[in-house]
Structure 1
Amino acid sequence: MELAVLINAMQKLLLFVLLGYILRWKQLLTHTGVKELSSLAVNITCPLLVIASVCRMKTADMSIVLLFLGVGTIIYAFLPFLARICTAILHVQKSEGGAYQFMFIFSNTSLLGFPIVQALFGNDAVFYTAILHMPFDILVYSYGIYLMHQGDEQNNFSCHSLCNAGLILTIFALIIYLAQLQLPKLIVDATYTMGNITTPISMLIIGASLREVRITDIFREQRLYIMSVIRLIILPLIIYVLLINFTHFDKILIGIATIAFGMPVGSMIVMLANEFDNNIELAAKSVSLTTAAALVTIPLLSMLIK
């Protein structure tokens, strides 16, 4: 049943990827259009989805919530160091170093992670997954943007780049939850509706970006295979072992964390790559390869944690 749910979720996303590929192939979606869609998703729709999710979060045991948030913060504080080490070991060239570090740090926590943990652990799992990955939302709009500027020949990164709508809206979402603010229902519904277009937009962008890549080239990037093993298998197993031995979380929370950190590379890398015109092909290859591999690794992880 779990495998069927996973395959069904993947198939829906792949249909949007195929549509994006066809639209780019037929020139109905231009390079400029892809760049503009990427900017819209990165700066507006994705942060609005975070705000809407936070506003719809139900009240839970605050002590458990804060502990889970603390665990997520510790993990995301550690991941940049792991990413640097892995990138150095793989001898990644400087122009691609930032993109590879991004792959190790940021996974597809919401677009694919939410439906998968919901199918495996129930509706409450989405809430706890969102809590666990709140540091992701802040980190991706700060350190993530910094990484995706690396290798940019124009070298146009500045501290001003970190003052962006995505980071501001994400911090606002965190404040909303921690302060238990209640926004008007009209605003919550509007942000939720707007935020929900993030998934199809991101998949269209990935498909359009793949149009610029020779499909056979995806399987020739040996470093991507090693990255995939670390991203999809080694990292979640490390988190599983640490949580089992050093926390008192129940089996469900440990399972949520293990599965959530075993997701493929986040589609945000493709959107940022398009926005900054930097490593677009590599970004599209990483998402495609790890998403395909996740069809095998996620069911295996789910069997392990039971």
Structure 2
Amino acid sequence: MIGNEYSKYILMKGHIMDFNAIINQILVLFIVLFLGFFIRKINIIDEHASKKIASLVVKVTAPCLIINSMMKKTELGNREILQMLGLSIAVYICMFIMTFIIPKLLRIEKNNIGVYRFMIMFSNVGFMGFPVIESIFGKEAVFYGAIYNLPFYALVYTLGIYLISMDNKKNIKFKIKDIFNPGVCAVIIGLIIFSFKLNLPYVATKTIDMISSLTTPLSMIVIGASLAGIKIKNIFSNTKLYIYSFLKLLVFPIIILIIIRQLGFNEIMTGVPVIITGMPVAANAVILSKEYDGNDILASEGVFISTMLSIITIPVLVFLLSN
């Protein structure tokens, strides 16, 4: 099993050496993020270019990353797939319950409750989740992440749109086709390849592998560029976002870590839900808020603060996972 191999690796290399290697990989991700911030500030890319790159990641490179991970030879069986999917559904149900509790505890204004509920429910799985999981556990772990994220892809353009739009009292109609977004389609294609053990031609596999390798750097650049457009001076006065970020980035994933470890799952099946839950606010919060008249400024502030704080909290989660 992948998890057993990972555990042996830790025992052979030692917790400190392995932890340091992971921290270095995470630092590389954030250096690329700050590069995106810088090149947006000096106008090498503008907002239009940033949106186009984001669209490229969501619709092309990230789906290729998912398919590529599922083409790899692995001992992962149907039982593990169902277990990972079950874990994901259970976590999302718990997070949905939290969307009713946390806004009341923080005394969120009625016209902002929808955005806060969205930010509680949905993490940045596409732009940061996959790159961080790959950095920690290796490319094969993206397979686990892809299965785990199936509910995210199905919910973000349905329940997510409802949460964002509830603040402006608009009646949003859902379309079935929205569920079959590039992420879900990529998982379905990957599962077909995996289940039937299909061997694609070399040209196809090499092309998919090359395109998928663009996901991590482009994702970090897009996040950095999006953060460059926020007025920082207006952010630090919102104490509720700091309390929210503390709950989102540390408290929730630590609770999940404690529960899953009691269930006896291997390292990766434990780590993937913890890391994904501990990711910053999904970038979709800003995109959907702009499209459906939600509070896009609050959404941008949530993305900014949670992303910046995750520089500290992600290494903390990695440390807890490695012990």
Q: TM-score range by the shorter chain?
A: 0.7 to 0.9
Corresponding position: 1:20 with 2:40: yes
**C-alpha separation between the residues in 1 aligned to 2:253 and 2:100?**
18
Per-residue CA deviations over 1:16-46 (Å, capped at 9, x if unaligned) read 23333443xx9x736x776677667666765
- Contact 1:69-1:132 at 8 Å conserved across structures: yes
How do residues 126-137 of structure 1 correspond to structure 2 at under 5 angstroms? 126-137=142-153
Deviation at 1:238, TM superposition (A): 1.0
| Paired residue secondary structure (1:159) | coil
Corresponding position: 1:218 with 2:232: no
**C-alpha separation between the residues in 1 aligned to 2:206 and 2:161?**
29
Q: Partner letter of residue 12 of structure 1?
A: V
- Residue in structure 1 matched with residue 287 of structure 2 by the alignment: 271
Q: TM-score, normalised by structure 2?
A: 0.77
Q: Structure 2 vs 1, CA of residues 254 and 34 (structure 1 numbering), >3 Å: closer, same or farther? A: closer
The share of aligned pairs that are identical, in percent, is 32
Per-residue CA deviations over 1:235-266 (Å, capped at 9, x if unaligned) read 11110111122x22123432333223212222
Per-residue CA deviations over 1:118-170 (Å, capped at 9, x if unaligned) read 333333322222222222121212211222223247x252124x632x63444
Q: TM-score, normalised by structure 1?
A: 0.80
- Residue in structure 1 matched with residue 180 of structure 2 by the alignment: 167
Q: Structure 2 vs 1, CA of residues 22 and 270 (structure 1 numbering), >3 Å: closer, same or farther? A: farther
- Residue in structure 1 matched with residue 173 of structure 2 by the alignment: 158
Corresponding position: 1:63 with 2:57: no
Listed as ranges, the gaps of 5+ residues in structure 1 are none
**C-alpha separation between the residues in 2 aligned to 1:89 and 1:80?**
15
- Contact 2:62-2:183 at 8 Å conserved across structures: no
Corresponding position: 1:10 with 2:24: no
How do residues 6-85 of structure 1 correspond to structure 2 at under 5 angstroms? 6-23=26-43, 29=46, 50=66, 53-54=69-70, 58=74, 60-85=76-101
Aligned residues: 298
Q: Structure 2 vs 1, CA of residues 37 and 144 (structure 1 numbering), >3 Å: closer, same or farther? A: farther
Q: Partner letter of residue 46 of structure 2?
A: L
**C-alpha separation between the residues in 2 aligned to 1:100 and 1:59?**
39
- Residue in structure 1 matched with residue 304 of structure 2 by the alignment: 288
**C-alpha separation between the residues in 2 aligned to 1:272 and 1:104?**
15
Q: Structure 2 vs 1, CA of residues 53 and 277 (structure 1 numbering), >3 Å: closer, same or farther? A: farther
Per-residue CA deviations over 1:98-123 (Å, capped at 9, x if unaligned) read 21111111112232222323333333
**C-alpha separation between the residues in 2 aligned to 1:159 and 1:56?**
35
How do residues 114-125 of structure 1 correspond to structure 2 at under 5 angstroms? 114-125=130-141
Deviation at 1:56, TM superposition (A): 5.6
- Contact 2:249-2:313 at 8 Å conserved across structures: yes
Q: Partner letter of residue 128 of structure 1?
A: Y
| Paired residue secondary structure (1:111) | helix
**C-alpha separation between the residues in 1 aligned to 2:148 and 2:76?**
14
Q: Structure 2 vs 1, CA of residues 77 and 178 (structure 1 numbering), >3 Å: closer, same or farther? A: farther
RMSD of aligned alpha carbons: 3.2
Listed as ranges, the gaps of 5+ residues in structure 2 are 1-19
Corresponding position: 1:90 with 2:106: yes
- Contact 1:54-1:173 at 8 Å conserved across structures: no
**C-alpha separation between the residues in 2 aligned to 1:278 and 1:100?**
11
Deviation at 1:193, TM superposition (A): 6.3
Deviation at 1:67, TM superposition (A): 0.9
**C-alpha separation between the residues in 2 aligned to 1:184 and 1:302?**
35
Deviation at 1:217, TM superposition (A): 1.5
Deviation at 1:234, TM superposition (A): 0.7
Q: Partner letter of residue 86 of structure 2?
A: G
Among 231, 256, 261, the alignment partner of 1:239 is: 256
After TM superposition, the structure 1 stretch with the greater mean CA deviation from structure 2, 144-153 or 131-140, is 144-153
**C-alpha separation between the residues in 2 aligned to 1:54 and 1:168?**
18
